[in-house]
Structure formats: C-alpha cells, structure tokens
Structure 1
C-alpha cells in the first residue's frame, strides 16, 4: 500500500508531465490537497512530504485541524466548500484563500470581517460552468456584474475563477468546460483590468487534472489520489 508521501510524489510528477506537455512552466500549477474528512495526522504526513496547501469544505472540521496543526510553519489553508453567511467571520479570520465565493453578499462579509492584521484574503469566484441544479456557483452571465462590484471591496484580492464541471461528461465535453472557464477569465481580465490579479484558475481533480492543466489550470484540487478513497461522511458545518 502506497504512503501519502508516495502519492504526493506521483501526483506531482503527473502535474509536471502535464505542464511540460502543455508547454507551460511546471511551477505555474500548484497542488491543493483536498483534505476534508481526513484526520490531522494525514495532513501532517502530507506536510512533512512537502505539501503546503490544504483545502477544506467543512468549517468546524477545518478549524479543529487548524488548531491541531498550528505548529506547522508555512501551512496554507484554503476554504473550498459552500459558504453560509453566518460562517464568514471565521473563514475570513482563519484562511488564506477562499475558492467558493458565489455572490456579492459573501464577498462583502469576507471583506468586512478580514482582520486588518492579515494580508488580503485571496478569493476565487465559483462558477456553475454547466448550469447544474445541484451545484453552487454563479452563472457566466452574472460574473461581469459580480466582478465589478467586488473590485471595490477592501481586504480581499480577487484572484480568479473556480469550477467543478460535471464529472459524468465525456472527455471532449469536460475539456470544453475547462476551456470555457479559461476563456471567461481571459475576457474578465481584459474588461476589468483593475478588479484584481485575475491570475488563477482553480479547476481539475484527481481524475482530470491533466485535461485541466492543458486548458490553463493554476490550482488542481486533489484528494483521492493523495489520501485514498474517503469513507462515507455525514454532512458537517
């Protein structure tokens, strides 16, 4: 049975191979370890193997891990789950990145509640790229107005877009979804030059990271390929 360190090495090699095949700098893509439902000791093992960025979906679980691993200098916490309005303060205080902002109300609260002592909170806007009823995210039509409004908020840095395309799509359809998100970011950057860096595409997971990288991903969110299949988990807040 492979270790977490072995898995990180394997995924890192996949990322490097995919970036080189796409004619990109291998350092242009970062690995986000999706660590929801994983115990702190798994994250510690991953950190000791060189992994620094961890993505969490459930706030209370994440806060418990942040406390348990506060001795790890350089660990970087990303919130990647749906956001309830009453949870924004703790998210604003505890995380370096939020990938799942899908409406102005949430962005405004994160801006207002980000401590002045911390750097600007990096955020990505989550896009419902395939217009699925079961998925969170704003629509492509809503994005320009949302970007304009968010660009005026202090204490946050609008880094780019995140999407979770329908995994049941054919490979060609999945590639088109990634390409659509990349094209959308390009146009937003042209139309809203002062909105923020707009340099980030958070897309691609264990089974499709190569496709995502070929279409411009800068963060790939990988859980299963690093930690193994998850046991069934009850919903956590």
Structure 2
C-alpha cells in the first residue's frame, strides 16, 4: 500500500437519489478514501448502490450531495485518468482484437507509433498474442474480458474502476483471471477500486475490503487484508488468515 498522504480517490458525504414515480435513495452519507496504488474492493447486498458509486467516481453518473475527488480534483465528468471495466466487454464485434485494443488510443488521437509498442506489450502480457486478427466472437469469455481490460490499460489510466468484471464467468475461469489481474496490477500498480459479490475474490485481491449497507448504501465497515504479496492461490488459500477474513466478511454480509 502506498503511504502518500493525499488519497487518489476521496468520497465525502455523497448522496444519490433516483427520481421518478417512486423516488429511490440509492446512496446516503458515503465516505471512503483510497490511497494511490491501493487495491480496494467493495462488497454489499444487491441493490445497495455499489455500481452507482463506481459510476459516480468514474464521472458517468451525477450525484446530489457531497464531494468526489480524484487526484485532488473534483469529479465533474469522465477523465482520461480513470479507466472503467464493466461486466460485459465493450469490444466492437466488427473489429479485430488488435483493432479493439487500439481503438481508445485512436479516438484520443494518440499517434500510432506511440500507441503500438504499448499495445504489443499488452497483447503479450494478457496472453492474446496470436489472436490479434480474431474477432471478439472467436474468443472465450475469459479472453474477451482480458481484451476488455487491455482496452482500458492501453490508455494508461492512473485509476482502474472495475464493476464485477468476472461476474459472468465460470468459477475456474474467474479464479484464473483473478491471478492474472493481480499480476497486471503488480506490474502496472494502478489504483484499483473493484465492485464484486464474491467475498473470496475480494479477500484474495485486496489491500482493504469495504462493506456497504443495504439501500440507501453507505460504507459501514472496513476490513484490512493482511496477507503477503505477491499472492498465489496455492499459498494464500492455505493461510489460516484467508479463511478467517472470509468468515468475518461473511458474517458482516449476513451470509451466516
């Protein structure tokens, strides 16, 4: 964990209400702070506003009260400092994997000569070498998600926001991609905020886990994960503390 004094993400007393025939208060008095290069996960019951909070930090959803700062700047809209990975990949089906990886750089008018080495490095790092000319439908679900992460990493964001990126995958593929994500993070060291429903995933990946209440959502508990890095399943999952963290968070989440 980075010990810089100023957080990369600071959320203070945030309120979000969805208007309509039946007004829904999604978030109330949400406070959190995430240090540069820290990996933090958010757990909470369905409908508690986890994804809404992530979209607010990303500048994709407005909010009514409080303040959200990213790198000490108030969030008023999407920022090139922030990359967002959703549960479903945003790859365009008519483009190849290589073209999809290069799309963000192209839209931002980054010269091809500047972007190409980065994209080649990501292709190798994500295990997509040899698939550059394939189209998304020709990839497995896990490979599509790796490519979706690559799309964002190609833009060199300082902060990575992830909304259940592996939620639609089978358990084995999900476990493999958790290891892959940690490897990428250990190389790139972005600040990561991950929304997940998986307690085991949150414990395995994170420096800290934040637990949200039911709607209106707010952060009610923080659990620091004191497990050594780098983390590999065969060692971490045998550590008694791993099971203890899962048990503690399960109780906080009302699993038992």
Greater share of residues in helix? 1
* Larger RCO (CA under 8 A, 6+ residues apart): 2
User: Under a length normalisation based on structure 2, what TM-score does the superposition of the two structures give?
Assistant: 0.28
Higher gyration radius (CA): 2
User: Under a length normalisation based on structure 1, what TM-score does the superposition of the two structures give?
Assistant: 0.30
